[in-house]
Structure 1
Amino acid sequence: RKRRIIKSLLVSCQSHESRYLVRSLIGKLRIGLAEQSMVVALAHSCIRSQYSNLKETTLKERLDNGTLAVKDAFCQCSFYDILVDVLINKGGIEKLKHLCKATPGIPMLAHPSKGIDEILKRCG
């Protein structure tokens, strides 16, 4: 199934796109694309597809708020498959806070904390 998807992506590429697609698939992308850039790009694509007819000032404000929401959700749940599924199929950026929460199995905090009380308060 993955091979079929990759093949269709390669077939639909134009000019130099296939080079970047292959590099990103093998993890050797040399254009400075960091994980935070991916998160920002996800937020911008979601906002721009939902609110394509807004004025530039309003759109910029929505982009900033959406980027912050997606970054926060990614800190809580760092799985792109879950994040993208919520963005596309389950209500978009508005639902991220409720559907992308910390999951058991990954021993880390999303944000630095000063004590157990702060952690318990944040996690509910």
Structure 2
Amino acid sequence: MQINVNTNSSISGSQGLEEHVETVLRSSIERFEEHITRVEVHLSNENKEKHADGGNSCTIEVRVRGHQPIVVHEHSDDLRQSIKNAGSKMARALDSMFGRLQDKGRHGIAAPAVDALADKHLTDS
């Protein structure tokens, strides 16, 4: 899983910040790693002069093999909290997407089985 961290000019990108992002994301979405091709993280402080307004934001875009990208966005007073919250949102979004796909697969498999049972019942009658 490739993780790219991008910051705007209001955030000083550092090795420690990138490591924090990677640690949070790996713990949040690692179980989906075999399906993910790339993760783009965008960090910014939209109002760097105002420190207590929740202007720190984290946007995470996950590219899932064979599907449209999934994007989540989170604002917080603290940049690290914003990253953690966005990682949690992404885990829930991926859980939801893969759950829906699994349900579709079950319904797609179950429908022919139900049809076969109905056909058998009609021929036995």
Q: TM-score, normalised by structure 1?
A: 0.32
Which structure exhibits the higher relative contact order, with contacts defined as CA atoms closer than 8 Å and separated by 6 or more residues? 2
Which has the greater radius of gyration? Answer: 2
From the two aligned structures, give the one with the greater helix fraction.
1
